[in-house]
């Protein structure tokens, strides 16, 4: 009697564990599927691995649904539904191996592509047999309401389809591994080779070889649970190397992104799943209170887990990912936290000006930038009638400012704003960078007003100093980022042996892709009158620029500037120039923003449009210049060499 009860308890425990592991596999496989689809869908390896993950998800979703189903007819329908994954996983696995082999420089000449199509066709035929007939699989209803899966007359066809496909897929991945050059790519390809067939082995319907009902014994359930654990480990092992394919991000960013995703995605889902599945045992232990408190417990565990990840993730990243370059990563993260967007900086200036208006009891204040060739009105608050034209008048006291000494001009009190940054020798230099002003309510300022004004002058000087510094930083980044060649895609070019159809890298005379061309054009236009976006541009390699050297004193930068100007002039419409005519919009934007170096607000005002509309039209104009450069390059390439 005791042995019977013990066996029943063991069987129920293994059955519950099987249900938990099957649901866990669904969570992990579905999460990785969504991860691939949302990040690397353009890459062939990512797309084909998504097919493998979809097959696994379908099979284990069926297992979870069968644990919930009661009617034998429903269970039979779910068993046939699972054959969507069972029928296509050999073909999708071979397809993935083919994509890996092509990535390493051995694309299909047509044979492997035809084999992939044939395998998918065989999978479709087997699915039809499993779904509509009993010749591939059959079901037997047991006395306790369970359904046993049996092999049909032609089940051997599935074996004949599965085994050779698996062997060839393993061979393809091994060949791909042999073509890897670096240690990291060899290691990742080894992970793929080791884990490639584990999901297929895990979902194989072994019960067809057992006697009817034997798949529900404790021994069979123990083997099934062990197989499920192997599948989970194989999925995690697959996820790591697959996350690098098709990504342009550095390795450390890919690893950190995958770690965060696994902890916050599948990790959170698995915790909630465990508490929901084991709700019944908790209810028995706590006398029915488990069911009442289950929603609260699930929410509490999820919140606690999210908090734990937020606290311990930086430590895990330093230990697992950033162990070699912690200092540089900390600097990058610190820079990210300190930088503000243009909207944030404008909001900061506006808040300081509004506070000045409130405390000084005036109805308007403003900030003027004095680091530009002509004074420029940066930000206003309240009612101000000041214009940029007034700032260019000869009586503007630009040479009369002194620290903390207000000047009365045109009905406004002006106070100089000074930068107090460290110089080259760590000496603090005081440089006039702008002035703040507010509406004058009296010809003199009281002592208390001067003390209060000194406090706001310090705040506004610091804010304007940060605004100007970060604008310089953004300008430098805008010119330098397009020049950075080392991306994940560039690294992948040296990870594998060159293929039989490998083409040379883009060098002089070969046109870059559209995205790269637009980035280079934007950087060059942004630094049209000087800067790394122009002087370090890869556009200097264009044939049109090389041919323009003779007319520009053999100066590559001047030649590139001339080619850009020529491209812009080709976009110029016919007739008289107009600021309101839509046909002239793109040309006017290029002229005002880049050739004349006007600010966004000034350009938008002259063209009668909003700032947001100007940015959108500016992107279109830059793309038009890129397309024109491509056209000019093709024209030069067709000319006979001199």
Q: pLDDT tens digits, residue range 135-157?
A: 999 888 887 777 888 888 999 99
Q: How many CA atoms lie within 13 A of 642 on its CB side?
A: 7
Q: Which residue has the tokens 């393809």?
A: 172
At 346-363, the pLDDT tens digits run: 788 888 888 888 887 888
Q: Indicate the SS3 state at residue 557.
A: helix
Please name the helix (run of DSSP H) or strand (run of DSSP E) that holds residue 435, with its range, or none: strand 428-439
Give residue 605's pLDDT: 82
| Per-residue pLDDT band at 514 (split at 50, 70, 90) | low
Give residue 502's pLDDT: 44
Please name the helix (run of DSSP H) or strand (run of DSSP E) that holds residue 419, with its range, or none: strand 412-422
CB 62 within 8 A of CB 136: no
Q: Which is more confidently placed, 169 or 254?
A: 169
Give residue 441's pLDDT: 74
Give residue 508's pLDDT: 42
Give residue 1's pLDDT: 55
CATH class of 342-479: alpha beta
CB 240 within 8 A of CB 35: no
Give residue 319's pLDDT: 77
At 54-86, the pLDDT tens digits run: 999 998 888 888 877 678 888 889 899 999 999
Q: Average pLDDT of the chain?
A: 80
| Per-residue pLDDT band at 627 (split at 50, 70, 90) | confident
Nearest to 142 by CA among 207, 216, 205: 216
**What is the C-alpha to C-alpha distance for residues 98 and 70, in angstroms, rounded to an integer?**
42
Least confident span in 203-212, 326-335, 351-360: 326-335
Give residue 83's pLDDT: 93
Give the torsion sign (CA, 548, 553, 556, 562). Answer: negative
Q: Indicate the SS3 state at residue 550.
A: helix
Give residue 34's pLDDT: 84
Residue 424 confidence (pLDDT) above 60? no
| Beta-strand relationship, 147-151 and 137-141 | antiparallel
**What is the C-alpha to C-alpha distance for residues 283 and 290, in angstroms, rounded to an integer?**
4
| Per-residue pLDDT band at 163 (split at 50, 70, 90) | very high
Give residue 2's pLDDT: 54
Q: What is the CB neighbour count within 10 angstroms for residue 577? A: 11
Nearest to 538 by CA among 579, 567, 500, 505: 505
DSSP-assigned states of every residue in 290-322: HHHHHHHHHHHHHHHHHHHHHHHHHHHHHHHTS
Kindly state the percentage of the chain with pLDDT values over 70.
84
Topology, domain 10-248: Rhopdopsin 7-helix transmembrane proteins (1.20.1070)
Give residue 310's pLDDT: 86
DSSP-assigned states of every residue in 456-471: HHHHHHHHHHHHHHHH
Whether pTM > 0.95 for this model: the answer is no
**Residue 448: burial class (beta carbons within 10 Å; 0-12, 13-18, 19+):** exposed
Residue 235, token pair as written in the block: 């999925």
Residue 408: strand pairing partners: 413
**Boundaries of every domain in the chain:** 10-248, 249-338, 342-479, 514-637
What would the mean pLDDT of 386-392 be, rounded to a whole number? 76
At 228-285, the pLDDT tens digits run: 888 888 888 888 888 877 666 767 778 888 888 888 888 888 888 877 777 655 555 5
Give residue 95's pLDDT: 93
Q: Indicate the SS3 state at residue 407.
A: strand
Give residue 169's pLDDT: 93
**What is the C-alpha to C-alpha distance for residues 65 and 85, in angstroms, rounded to an integer?**
15
Give residue 506's pLDDT: 38
Say what the alpha-carbon torsion angle 437, 438, 441, 445 is, to the nearest 10 degrees.
-50
At 188-197, the pLDDT tens digits run: 889 889 888 8
| Per-residue pLDDT band at 315 (split at 50, 70, 90) | confident
| Beta-strand relationship, 147-151 and 407-409 | unpaired
**What is the C-alpha to C-alpha distance for residues 130 and 152, in angstroms, rounded to an integer?**
9
Nearest to 200 by CA among 126, 92, 358: 92
CB 444 within 8 A of CB 455: no
Residue 519 confidence (pLDDT) above 80? no
H helix intervals, 69-110 = 72-81, 83-103
**Residue 311: burial class (beta carbons within 10 Å; 0-12, 13-18, 19+):** exposed
Give residue 125's pLDDT: 95
CA 523 to chain centre: 22
235 — phi, psi (to 5°)?
A: -65, -45
Residue 493 confidence (pLDDT) above 70? no
**What is the C-alpha to C-alpha distance for residues 609 and 585, in angstroms, rounded to an integer?**
10
Kindly state the percentage of the chain with pLDDT values over 90.
10
| Per-residue pLDDT band at 488 (split at 50, 70, 90) | very low
How far are the Cα atoms of 29, 68, 207, 384 from residue 223, in angstroms, in the given order? 21, 21, 11, 80
Q: What is the CB neighbour count within 10 angstroms for residue 276? A: 15
Give residue 329's pLDDT: 67
Q: Is 186 left (phi over 0), alpha (psi -120 to 50) or beta?
A: alpha
Kindly provide the b/e burial profile for residues 497-533, where b requires at least 16 CB atoms within 10 angstroms of the residue's own CB. eeeeeeeeeeeeeeebeeeebbbbbbbbbbbbeebbb
What would the mean pLDDT of 530-554 be, rounded to a whole number? 83
**What is the C-alpha to C-alpha distance for residues 199 and 607, in angstroms, rounded to an integer?**
61
Give residue 323's pLDDT: 65
How far are the Cα atoms of 12, 74, 75 from residue 68, in angstroms, in the given order? 15, 10, 9
Same fold, 10-248 and 342-479: no
């Amino acid at each position: 009697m005791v042995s019977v009860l013990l066996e029943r308890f063991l069987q129920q425990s293994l059955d519950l564990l099987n249900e938990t592991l099957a649901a866990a596999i669904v969570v992990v496989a579905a999460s990785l599927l969504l991860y691939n689809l949302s990040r690397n869908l353009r890459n062939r390896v990512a797309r084909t691995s998504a097919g493998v993950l979809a097959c696994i998800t379908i099979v284990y979703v069926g297992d979870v649904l069968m644990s919930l189903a009661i009617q034998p007819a429903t269970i039979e329908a779910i068993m046939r539904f699972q054959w969507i994954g069972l029928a296509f996983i050999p073909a999708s696995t071979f397809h993935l191996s083919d994509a890996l082999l092509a990535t390493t420089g051995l694309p299909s000449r047509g044979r492997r592509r035809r084999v992939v199509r044939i395998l998918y066709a065989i999978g479709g035929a087997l699915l039809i047999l499993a779904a509509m007939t009993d010749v591939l699989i059959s079901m037997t209803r047991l006395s306790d309401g369970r359904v046993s899966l049996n092999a049909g007359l032609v089940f051997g066809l599935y074996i004949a389809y599965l085994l050779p496909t698996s062997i060839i897929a393993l061979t393809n991945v091994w060949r791909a591994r042999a073509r890897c050059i670096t240690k990291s790519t060899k290691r990742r390809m080894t992970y793929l080779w080791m884990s490639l067939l584990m999901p297929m082995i895990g979902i194989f319907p072994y019960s067809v070889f057992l006697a009817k009902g034997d798949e529900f014994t404790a021994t069979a359930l123990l083997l099934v649970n062990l197989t499920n654990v192997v599948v989970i480990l194989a999925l995690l092992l697959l996820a790591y190397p697959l996350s690098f394919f098709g990504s342009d991000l550095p390795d450390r960013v890919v690893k950190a992104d995958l770690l965060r995703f696994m902890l916050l995605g599948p990790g959170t889902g698995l915790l909630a799943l465990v508490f929901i599945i084991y709700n019944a045992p908790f209810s028995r232990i706590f006398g029915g209170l488990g069911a009442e408190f289950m929603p609260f417990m699930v929410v509490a565990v999820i919140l606690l887990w999210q908090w734990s990840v937020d606290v311990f993730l930086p430590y895990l990243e330093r230990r697992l990912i950033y162990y070699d370059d912690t200092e540089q990563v900390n600097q990058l993260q610190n820079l990210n936290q300190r930088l503000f967007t243009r909207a944030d900086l404008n909001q900061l200036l506006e808040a300081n000006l509004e506070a000045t208006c409130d405390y000084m009891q005036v109805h308007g204040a403003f900030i003027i930038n004095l680091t530009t060739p002509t004074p420029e009105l940066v930000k206003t608050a309240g009612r101000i009638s000041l214009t940029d034209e007034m700032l260019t008048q000869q009586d503007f006291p630009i040479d009369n400012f002194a620290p903390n000494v207000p000047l009365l001009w045109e009905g406004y009190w002006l106070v100089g704003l000074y930068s107090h940054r460290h110089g080259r020798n760590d000496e603090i230099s005081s440089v006039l960078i702008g002035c703040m002003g507010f509406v004058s309510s009296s010809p003199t300022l009281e002592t208390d007003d001067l003390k209060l004004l000194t406090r706001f002058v310090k705040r506004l000087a610091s804010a304007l100093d940060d605004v100007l510094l970060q604008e310089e930083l953004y300008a430098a980044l805008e010119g330098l980022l397009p020049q950075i060649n080392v991306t994940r895609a560039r690294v992948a070019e040296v990870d594998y042996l060159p293929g039989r159809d490998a083409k040379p890298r883009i060098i002089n005379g070969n046109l870059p892709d559209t995205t790269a061309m637009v980035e280079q054009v934007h950087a060059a236009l942004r630094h049209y009158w000087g800067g790394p976006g122009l002087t370090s541009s890869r556009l200097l390699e264009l044939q049109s620029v090389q041919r323009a050297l003779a007319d520009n004193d053999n100066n590559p930068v001047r030649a590139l500037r001339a080619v850009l100007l020529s491209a812009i002039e080709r976009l110029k419409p016919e007739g008289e120039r107009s600021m309101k005519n839509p046909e002239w919009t793109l040309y006017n934007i290029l002229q005002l923003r880049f050739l004349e170096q006007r600010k966004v607000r000034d350009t938008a005002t002259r063209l009668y449009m909003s700032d947001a509309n100007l940015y959108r039209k500016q992107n279109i104009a830059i793309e038009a210049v890129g397309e024109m450069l491509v056209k000019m390059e093709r024209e030069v390439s067709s000319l006979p060499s001199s």
